[in-house]
Amino acid sequence: MKTKKLYLKKKSKSTDQDKSKGKLGILLNPRWGIAIALISLVLLCTIGPAKALFNQAFLIDYFSNNSCSNCVIFTFLGIYIFLTAIGIPGTILTIVGGPVFGLLWGTLWSAIGATLGALGAFWVARYLFRDYIANKFARHKGLKIFNQAVLDKPIAFTLAIRFAPISPFNVVNFLFGLTPLNWVTYTIATFIGIIPGTVIYTWLGTTGQSALLGEDPKPFFLALALLTILSIIPLLAKKKNTGRGF
């Protein structure tokens, strides 16, 4: 009897030690360290001292008053890539790019920044969390559908997702990283797919700034209308396909 109790006690102790080691292993896993660092950066940018990155007036003033044009471009791109890579929307920067660079160059720099940032998020998801999420959520219906859509029509599906400005751009960046989609295909389709929305958001920034300076506000409202139409098109297409039984 005593031997049995001693055995059970040792077994219980061994189980507790295994659980402790398991928890310690999770905490010491570099992937979780990176995840915590990313969350910290997000908090720093949203509620910390770096929240000035979301102040549209501050950003326009900062970039417009910098005499070094190359410095402005690289700083703009650096901020855009960084924010997008850690999962923070860069919409404000796209709007800021309008009055700072103009419609053409503002669209180009924003599209490049958004694409490279999206690629960064793609790699973070693929090389750090893909195995863990695949094991944890292998039976998740939504992930299965998303993954299958990528396998069936990789380019068309990526373009369709990117074309809609109302899609959760940053969430989708990480989701694509969990799929077998080739990164080159992903990058090219992302760049092409975001062009329409980037043009309109940049134009929104340009016309909005002009309207604030007392110029004709009609172009601003036109840009707003185009953004609304662009947002509705994917919903109408989805409804049409549903009606056909797709």
Tell me the one-letter amino acid at 221. F
> Distance between CA atoms of 84 and 133, rounded to whole angstroms?
21
Provide the mean pLDDT of the chain: 79
Q: Kindly write down the DSSP assignment for every residue of the chain, as one continuous string.
A: -HHHHHHHHHHHHHHHHHHHHHHHHHHH-HHHHHHHHHHHHHHHHHTSGGGGGG-HHHHHHHHHT-S-HHHHHHHHHHHHHHHHHTT---HHHHHHHHHHH-HHHHHHHHHHHHHHHHHHHHHHIIIIIHHHHHHHSTT-HHHHHHHHHHHH-HHHHHHHHHH-TTS-HHHHHHHHHTS---HHHHHHHHHHHHHHHHHHHHHHHHHHHHHHTTS-SHHHHHHHHHHHHHHHHHHHHHHHHHHTT-
Spatial neighbors of 211 by CB under 8 A, at least 6 apart, are 217, 219, 220
> Distance between CA atoms of 238 and 135, rounded to whole angstroms?
31
Residue 6 has pLDDT above 80, yes or no: no
Per-residue pLDDT tens digits for 154-194: 999 999 889 876 677 888 998 899 888 999 999 999 999 99
Residue 237 has pLDDT above 80, yes or no: no
Percent of the chain's residues with pLDDT above 90: 34
pLDDT score recorded for residue 245:
46
pLDDT score recorded for residue 20:
47
Between 102-106, 117-121, 143-147, the lowest mean confidence (pLDDT) is in 143-147
Per-residue pLDDT tens digits for 91-118: 999 999 999 999 999 999 999 999 999 9
Average pLDDT over residues 203-230: 89
Within 13 Å and on the Cβ side, how many CA atoms surround 160?
13
- Look at 230 and 45; give whichever has higher pLDDT: 230
Between 41-45, 113-117, 118-122, the lowest mean confidence (pLDDT) is in 41-45
Average pLDDT over residues 211-234: 86
